[in-house]
């Protein structure tokens, strides 16, 4: 199957023009006229995935491998080291990042994973206005996102409404209208802002909240006339008890 055909299908599913100006979704490595032998779905691409991939594989990932400006290609360092390996094996790469957040991922995690009733959605924020006990929210997150623990800012026994942004969404806190906001990669000053605005923040992890990208994509692509497999990348973080 031609890469161009697959790209066109992806663009229909989640138009690349919807991505944020700072994003770099789309074809990052490859030739539109290449013949693709297999599609591999993953949150990220890493060295192990490349080593195990067949020649002529197309990786469809959430996070763009090339994100900021590349001033040089030093093959010792990331991401140039991975790019060199991909070119040698004729591996292609397409990223579906903020466009897919807007059209599919946030809604999927909110409704299908957490089982919450979606009452409103902006580009990146899904929300419900229902009232919840915080202990029930934490139990739900632990079960559905496989979290052993999570950081909480401004804990309340009960909250009026829950909002969610997968990945790193704390910069959107001023647009959140509910008392509780679920997102990942919460920084110290984000926490200070939440406290000043009397909002409860729960850090649900970046990988943990976006790992479902592969499940959504598989459901959308598994009827295509080409092999589509999931080969999830590893969470770069590990949790250790220090007590």
Please report whether residue 178 resides in a domain.
yes
Whether omega before 27 lies within 30 degrees of 0, making that bond cis, reads: no
Q: Are residues 109 and 204 in the same domain?
A: yes
Q: Are residues 202 and 222 in the same domain?
A: no
Please report whether residue 237 resides in a domain.
no
Q: Are residues 111 and 87 in the same domain?
A: no
Assessment of whether the complete model's pTM goes beyond 0.75? yes
CATH code for the domain of 11: 3.40.1390.30
Please report whether residue 12 resides in a domain.
yes
- What is the model's pLDDT at position 70? 87
Q: Are residues 116 and 65 in the same domain?
A: no
Structural domain of 150 = 100-210
Please report whether residue 235 resides in a domain.
no
12 backbone dihedrals φ, ψ, rounded to 5°: -75, -40
pLDDT of residue 201 exceeding 90, the answer is yes
pLDDT tens for each residue of 93-144: 999 999 999 999 999 999 999 999 999 999 999 999 999 999 999 999 999 9
The 3-state DSSP class for residue 146 equals coil
Q: CB under 8 Å to 218, separation ≥6 — which residues?
A: 41, 228, 230
Looking at the structure of the chain, the number of domains it has is 2
| Whole-number percent of the chain with pLDDT over 90 | 95
Average pLDDT in the chain: 96
Q: Are residues 64 and 80 in the same domain?
A: yes
């Amino acid at each position: 199957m031609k890469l161009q055909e697959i790209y066109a299908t992806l663009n229909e599913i989640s138009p690349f023009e919807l991505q944020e100006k700072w994003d770099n979704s789309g074809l990052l490595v490859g030739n539109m006229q290449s013949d693709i032998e297999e599609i591999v779905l993953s949150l990220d691409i890493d060295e192990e995935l490349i080593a195990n991939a067949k020649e002529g594989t197309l990786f469809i990932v959430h996070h763009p491998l090339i994100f900021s400006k590349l001033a040089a290609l030093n093959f010792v360092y990331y991401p140039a080291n991975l790019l060199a390996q991909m070119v040698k094996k004729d591996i292609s790469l397409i990223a579906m990042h903020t466009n897919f957040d807007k059209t599919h991922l946030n809604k999927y995690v909110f409704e299908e994973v957490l089982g919450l009733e979606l009452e409103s959605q902006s580009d990146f924020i899904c929300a419900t206005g229902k009232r919840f006990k915080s202990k029930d929210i934490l139990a739900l997150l632990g079960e559905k996102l496989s979290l052993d623990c999570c950081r909480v800012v401004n804990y309340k026994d009960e909250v009026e409404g829950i909002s969610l942004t997968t990945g790193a969404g704390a910069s959107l806190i001023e647009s959140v209208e509910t008392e509780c906001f679920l997102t990942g990669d919460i920084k110290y000053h984000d926490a200070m802002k939440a406290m000043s605005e009397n909002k409860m923040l729960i850090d649900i992890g970046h990988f943990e909240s976006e790992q479902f990208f592969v499940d959504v994509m598989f459901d959308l692509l598994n009827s295509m006339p080409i092999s589509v497999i999931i080969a999830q990348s590893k969470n770069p973080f590990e949790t250790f008890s220090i007590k």
